[in-house]
Amino acid sequence: MNQKLLFSGQAVKSEMVVLVLDKWGLHPELREKPSEARRRVPFRRQSEKPDVNDLDRDADVLIPEDAFERAKEILFGESEIERAGF
């Protein structure tokens, strides 16, 4: 199944997106970006796992193509308050 990129940003924000979508019954995938893409750390190898204590690390949220429109509406659509006209 093909996946589409829904969100890209700091891991702490990406994890929140994953939690929200999980609550709606969707199954997103959190994919960490290599830290070397953002900055060079001499003692760290590309194959090592990202530092989970680094909240500023980059991550992507991927969602199956068939659930993409629904996920986009959940995250970026109007809220219930906006729809009600408050």
Alpha-carbon distance of 78 to 84, in angstroms, equals: 10
Query: What integer pLDDT is reported at residue 43 of this predicted model?
Result: 47
Regarding the domain delimited by 3-41+55-84, which CATH topology (the fold level of the hierarchy) does it fall under? Alpha-Beta Plaits (3.30.70)
- pLDDT for 36 beyond 50: yes
- pLDDT for 23 beyond 80: yes
Give per-residue pLDDT as tens, 39-81. 555 444 554 566 667 778 899 999 999 999 999 999 988 877 7
User: Does pTM top 0.75 for this prediction?
Assistant: no
Question: Residue 31 forms beta bridges with which residues?
Answer: 60
Q: From start to end of the chain, where are the E strands?
A: 3-10, 29-32, 58-64
